[in-house]
Amino acid sequence: MAGTQTTDTQKPNTLKHRAVLALGSNLGESEDTLERAVADLVAGGVQLVRASGLYRTAPVGGPAGQPDFVNAVIEVTTDLGAYELLRLCNAVEAAHHRERLVRWGPRTLDIDVIDYDGVISEDPVLTLPHPRAQERAFVLVPWAQMDPQARLTVTHRAKPSGERPDEVPEPLSREVVNVAELSRTLLGADEDAISYMREMQVPDQP
């Protein structure tokens, strides 16, 4: 029936994929970079559903003495597949002069895929949910602020062998938890890890 046909741009939201992305920056004009990165992601094929505020966070890992980060989390819908979305995130990082010099070192922009339709994958190219999100207050606190009902599949893993810094050990078991509860537990352990800065100015959508 001609009247019921939809084009891609008219596709109802329910048929789209839903993803959570975490953004971080600790070099350059970090607040501007994060806001421009959201606009670039929207131009690249995601629709913004909601965004956390901007948070100032103490660096986790990496070289001593690097500057504090600005972090935020966004929820998007998209027609992009998970790997296409990762490629878009990498392209937006590159457009903001992201260089991979030191692991967990200072960077103009980092965009991680935290969740994609609740998919679970151990592929090292795209591990889902992001394997370190569950231990990172700089991801969980903004995520919980943005979506107090958010849930995350937490993976309990074997002990790391210590052979490789980017090692993601074998999964032992999984459980679904409330992100707000998990973030409260993490914050209780380190209250100075993260502080709210201000709302993010999100771009108009086409």
Ligand X SMILES: Nc1ncnc2c1ncn2[C@@H]1O[C@H](COP(=O)(O)OP(=O)(O)OP(=O)(O)O)[C@@H](O)[C@H]1O
Q: Which residues of the shown chain bind ligand X in the complex (CB under 6 A)?
A: 86, 100, 103-104, 110, 112-113, 125-128, 130, 132
- Give yes or no: 166 in active site: no
Residue 106 contact partner, candidates ligand X, ligand PH2, none, CB within 5 to 8 A by sort of partner: none
Q: Work out how close the CB of 81 gets to ligand X at its nearest, in angstroms, rounded to a whole number.
A: 14
Q: Work out how close the CB of 47 gets to ligand X at its nearest, in angstroms, rounded to a whole number.
A: 19
- Give, in degrees to the nearest 5, the angle at Cα 132 between 127 and 137: 140
Tokens 């501007």, residue located: 32
Among 19, 21, 24, 140, binds ligand PH2 (CB under 6 A): 24
- Give yes or no: 87 in active site: no
- Residues whose CB falls within 8 Å of the CB of residue 121, separated by 6 or more in sequence, listed in order: 82, 127, 128
Residue 43 contact partner, candidates ligand X, ligand PH2, none, CB within 5 to 8 A by sort of partner: none
Residue 97 contact partner, candidates ligand X, ligand PH2, none, CB within 5 to 8 A by sort of partner: none
Contact 114, 151 (CB under 8 A): no
Does 61 engage in binding with ligand PH2 (CB under 6 A)? yes
Does 131 engage in binding with ligand PH2 (CB under 6 A)? no
- Give yes or no: 132 in active site: no
CA-to-CA dists, residue 8 to 2, 17, 82, 152, 204, angstroms: 15, 13, 18, 29, 20
- Footprint of ligand PH2 on residues 161-190 (CB under 6 A)? none
Contact 8, 45 (CB under 8 A): no
Residue 71 contact partner, candidates ligand X, ligand PH2, none, CB within 5 to 8 A by sort of partner: ligand PH2
Contact 186, 140 (CB under 8 A): yes
Does 142 engage in binding with ligand PH2 (CB under 6 A)? no
Residue with smaller CB distance to ligand PH2, 24 or 129: 24
Measured CA to CA, the distance from residue 189 to residue 177 in angstroms comes to: 18
Measured CA to CA, the distance from residue 11 to residue 91 in angstroms comes to: 25
Residue 138 contact partner, candidates ligand PH2, ligand X, none, CB within 5 to 8 A by sort of partner: ligand PH2
The token duo for 126 is 């795209």
Does 33 engage in binding with ligand PH2 (CB under 6 A)? no
**Minimal CA–CA distance to 71: which of 201, 203, 202, 200?**
200
Active site residues: 98, 107, 110, 112
